[in-house]
Structure 1
Amino acid sequence: MTRLVLLLTLLLSIASCTSVDVSRYADQQPALDLQRFFSQPVKAWGMFQKRGGEVTKRFEVNIISRREGNNLILDERFLYSDGTRQHRVWTLTPEGQGRWSGRAGDVVGVAQGQVAGNTLHWRYRLNVPVDDSTYEMSMDDWMYLMDEDTLINRTSMSKFGVEVGQVTLFFRRQGPESSQ
């Protein structure tokens, strides 16, 4: 009997870990339009937390974007609290019906995203440098538009299905159109 209860508890906890479907946010406002949000410079502030909650890295990001045909190019420049710098360029492609694909130099394969209402949900694998090694992490990335100038991002990073940490980011549009 004890084994049955233990097995049922394990199955219920696994089932409760399934991800929310982004379509749940379809009616949430303001609606997220990636091309509009990134139509001017964006500044972001973030941190990485280990699974237990310890903050191990803080960072700032300056993002400049441009359009190339249908693609949205995001040029991101990171400055970390330890003084290190990183540069990532995303090429985002609209795939129709709120779907997006994304590529970047440290992304393994193609990121797949879906926008619904005020929310964007990305899934991708990212090569993450740590000390003298690089680890391939699975990223489960959620972005929520709070107002026309503010976007909040929460990402779960996992390896072999086990969460190793979380990234939290706050984006703020910096240009003349923003309502600062």
Structure 2
Amino acid sequence: MTRFLLLLTLVLSVSSCGSVDVNRYADQQPALNLERFFSQPVKAWGMFQKRSGEVAKRFEVNIVSRREGNNLILDEQFLYSDGTRQRRVWVLTPEGDGRWSGRAGDVVGVAKGQVAGNTLRWRYRLNLPVDGSTYEMSMDDWMYLMDEDTLINRTSMSKLGVEVGQVTLFFRRQGVGASQ
């Protein structure tokens, strides 16, 4: 038992050492403004890679947004490379000082995020369906605004502190006013 506790402590210590504070990016430009970025339709392309690096699934997402009071609603329509479809509707609420909270049907509890400079760090637990079972995954999203119309996202997915894969996603604003 002592050996197990020592190993668990070592794993948790190593995994917590690699965390970067989002405020490190506070001076990075262009500054990310979520309401502005999602003020018009957004198209995204992404992939999920297993821990080994193998691409397990590719997908496209169409996102439309609207304001409801203080909330920013993101309606995401996914199309996966195997032909399956999924919808996720986020309700994002500004909490002040660059902080955001969010809820969605497959998110466990409340997602917590913080914007600093061109970066958003978003952390939440997600119920992920895989082959007829559902797994609760910890998601650690890092989103970086590259220019006014392009956002890059890299997400680490883990279970019980062990990374099981990564999601890479590129967002591009569509429609009138988007840079061509």
Q: Which amino acid aligns with 2:134?
A: T
| Alpha-carbon contact 2:44-2:172 (below 8 Å) kept | yes
Structure 1 residues 15 and 42: CA distance shift in structure 2, 3 A: closer
Establish whether residue 142 from structure 1 lines up as the match of residue 180 from structure 2. no
Q: In the aligned structure 2, how far is the partner of 1:139 from the partner of 1:81?
A: 21
Structure 2 counterpart of 1:106, one-letter code: D
Matched, 1:29 2:56: no
**1:160 aligned partner:** 160
Q: Is the 8 A contact 2:32 2:119 kept in 1?
A: yes
What SS class does the counterpart of residue 35 from structure 1 fall into?
helix
Q: Which structure 1 residue ranges, 4+ long, deviate > 4 Å from structure 2?
A: none
CA–CA separation in structure 1 for the residues paired with 2:107 and 2:122: 12
* Aligned twin of 2:89: 89
Specify whether residues 28 and 61 from structure 1 end up closer, same or farther in structure 2 by C-alpha distance, changes over 3 A only. same
TM-score, scaled relative to structure 2: 0.92
Are the structure 2 counterparts of residues 51 and 15 from structure 1 closer, same or farther at C-alpha, using a change threshold of 3 Å?
closer
Aligned to 2:52: 52
Work out the number of aligned pairs and report it.
171
- Tell me the C-alpha RMSD between the 2 structures: 1.4
In the alignment, the residues of structure 2 paired with residue 136 and residue 130 of structure 1 have an alpha-carbon distance, to the nearest angstrom, of: 11
2: CA distance, partners of 1:177 / 1:68: 23
Residues of 1 paired with 2:97 and 2:73: CA distance? Answer: 20
Sequence identity, in percent?
A: 87
Instruction: Tell me how far 1:14 sits from its aligned partner.
Output: 1.0
8 Å contact from structure 2 (residues 15, 161) kept in 1:
no
Unaligned 5+ runs, structure 1: 1-6
Gaps of 5+ in 2: 1-6
Distance 1:105 1:59 in 2: 20
